[in-house]
Amino acid sequence: MTTALPSPRLDPALTDRLASGADALQLWLIELRRHFHAHPELGWQEVATTARIVSELEALGYDTVHGPGFLGNVPRMGLAADPGPGAGDTGCVALYDTGRPGPTVCLRVDIDALPIHEAGGNHAPAAGGYASQLPGVMHACGHDGHAAIGLGTARLLQPWLGTGRGKLKLLFQPAEEGGRGANAVVEAGWMDDVDLFFAIHLGLRVPSGTAALKVHGFLANRRYGVTLTGRAAHAGKSPELGRNALLAACQMVPALHALAQSSAPGTRVNVGTLTAGTAVNIVPDEARFSFEIRAGDSAGLAALDARCRALIEGTAAAHGVGCEIAPAGGAEAWENPAEIADWAAEVNAETGAFPALLPDFLFGASEDATNLARRVARRGGRAGIFVLGADLADDHHTPHFDFDEAALSRSVRLTAGLIAAAMGLSASP
């Protein structure tokens, strides 16, 4: 049975209070976002980030599940073999139960950073004194803003949650980059009772003051780590006795990229890392590389996946090297159903959060919130992933990335409105 969408109409008194409350939070949201920006942490390593989030949530009176209890014993793809203290047990969920029958509503935000060295000079975070304090790690995709929006939503709604129906989950997800964290959240069961699911993403060249709700073209993707094992030999005296893992990898890399030649939209292959060898006079006996594939739908991805595997395994056999192809994450294809997009548009009109809406928006990349959305949809729930406009200093995943912080309070106004409509909140007890 498909979950019925609630009325998008909001209590007018509550609408006014959400609007004024979101505006009043703007300076706090900026301060919070800049704190997260200055202290970025990679996926599965968001220990301090999670601690700050949990502290804020518990101060507001939410029940939280964090630490080992959050994901339990489910696999964490990409977790280091010898993780540091707390690594792998990051992220959390805040819970509020009204005690009245109603839907279970979930808002998801992601919290991890990227392995990018942040720009200096006149780059706004550097000039403003809140650039990354961890060399080589940077919030270059807006997840610092997402974390702030999640906490702002929790703070704005807290006084009114007792007037509603059902349950609320605020999910602060680790390890989105690489498509790893959502898989763990799904396997841990956090989506199994969700009736209405929302996720957000800032920027993506949607201008400030504009939101994209009719979003489609989320690419399906998979990521792999490949290990090639050959045999070492003296590179000058007896190279024929070796089996060159590096040479095998170097033939695989351009051949994999060539597989992206396709008339199907969204087909992508990218080899992102390659390491091999120990010395210039030794035939390399090991090589490792990582790659990702993307496609516009799951069937296209499966076909591309099979071709990539055949290429890697065939080239390895030709070179006489062993190969291991290990999954490292992935995301599903997705498009927002028209019903959820139209409903969200009506809620946006009620709240006045974003003055303009795009009639159509092609996401054109991958986002592992799709794994959460598809799990909810398979159970008959409703799900939408929305893009909230924020002018950018440079593109996502670049050293000069930054976004218009005016989007923070607008975003909180909309996310709070979505939850208020879903749970039937009012301004009166």
DSSP state of 89: S
Tens-digit pLDDT profile for residues 85-140: 999 999 999 999 999 999 999 999 999 999 999 999 999 999 999 999 999 999 99
Residue 144 CB partners (closer than 8 Å, separation 6+): 33, 34, 36, 37, 40, 113
Q: What is the residue whose two structure tokens read 């819970």?
A: 95
| Phi, psi angle pair for 27, to nearest 5° | -65, -40
pLDDT of residue 414: 98
Tens-digit pLDDT profile for residues 305-333: 999 999 999 999 999 999 999 999 999 99
DSSP state of 367: -
Largest Cα separation within the chain, whole Å, is: 86
**What strands lie across the sheet with 92-97, from one edge to the other?**
63-66, 92-97, 167-173, 104-110, 196-202, 382-388, 210-212, 356-358
Cα 292 from Cα 225, distance rounded (Å): 9
Q: Count Cα neighbours of 382 within 13 Å in the Cβ-side half-sphere.
A: 20
pLDDT of residue 275: 97
Q: Which of 234, 18, 63, 33 is nearest to 147 (CA)?
A: 33
Mean pLDDT of the region 63-71: 97
Contact present, 241 and 233 (Cβ < 8 Å): yes
Mean pLDDT of the region 254-274: 91
Q: Indicate the helix (H) or strand (E) that contains 14.
A: helix 12-24
pLDDT of residue 78: 86
pLDDT of residue 251: 97
Checking if the pLDDT of 412 tops 90, the result is yes
Tens-digit pLDDT profile for residues 169-198: 999 999 999 899 999 999 999 999 999 999
Q: Count Cα neighbours of 127 within 13 Å in the Cβ-side half-sphere.
A: 6
Q: Could you count the other beta carbons within 10 Å of the beta carbon of residue 241?
A: 11
174's tokens: 């680790």
Cα 102 from Cα 300, distance rounded (Å): 39
Checking if the pLDDT of 35 tops 70, the result is yes
Q: Which residues pair with 294 in a beta bridge?
A: 221, 268
Do the domains spanning 12-218+333-423 and 220-330 agree at the CATH topology level?
no
Q: For the chain, what percent of residues have pLDDT higher than 90? A: 93
DSSP state of 264: S
Tens-digit pLDDT profile for residues 344-389: 999 999 999 999 999 999 999 999 999 999 999 999 999 999 999 9
Q: What is the residue whose two structure tokens read 């028209």?
A: 338
- Mean predicted lDDT score pLDDT of the chain: 96
Q: What does R_g of the chain's alpha carbons equal in angstroms?
A: 23
pLDDT band at 429 (very low <50, low <70, confident <90, very high): low
SS3 195: coil
For 12-218+333-423, CATH number out of 2.40.30.20, 1.10.10.60, 3.40.630.10, 3.40.50.300 equals 3.40.630.10
347's tokens: 């809620």
Q: Per 3-state DSSP, what percentage of the chain is helix, strand, and coil (rounded to 5)?
A: 35, 25, 40
Cα 293 from Cα 305, distance rounded (Å): 7
CA 208, 214, 217, 223 torsion-angle sign: positive
- Give alpha helix (H) positions in 270-406: 298-319, 338-351, 369-378
Residue 389 CB partners (closer than 8 Å, separation 6+): 203, 206, 207, 208, 209, 210, 211, 212, 354, 356, 407
Cα 186 from Cα 379, distance rounded (Å): 12
pLDDT of residue 82: 84
Tens-digit pLDDT profile for residues 5-30: 999 999 999 999 999 999 999 999 99
Cα 382 from Cα 403, distance rounded (Å): 29
Q: Could you count the other beta carbons within 10 Å of the beta carbon of residue 20?
A: 11
CA 207, 145, 178, 270 torsion-angle sign: positive
Q: Which residues pair with 266 in a beta bridge?
A: none
Checking if the pLDDT of 299 tops 90, the result is no
CATH topology of domain 220-330: Alpha-Beta Plaits (3.30.70)
Q: Count Cα neighbours of 327 within 13 Å in the Cβ-side half-sphere.
A: 12
pLDDT of residue 113: 98
SS3 179: coil
Domain spans, the chain: 12-218+333-423, 220-330
pLDDT of residue 284: 96
384's tokens: 């939408």
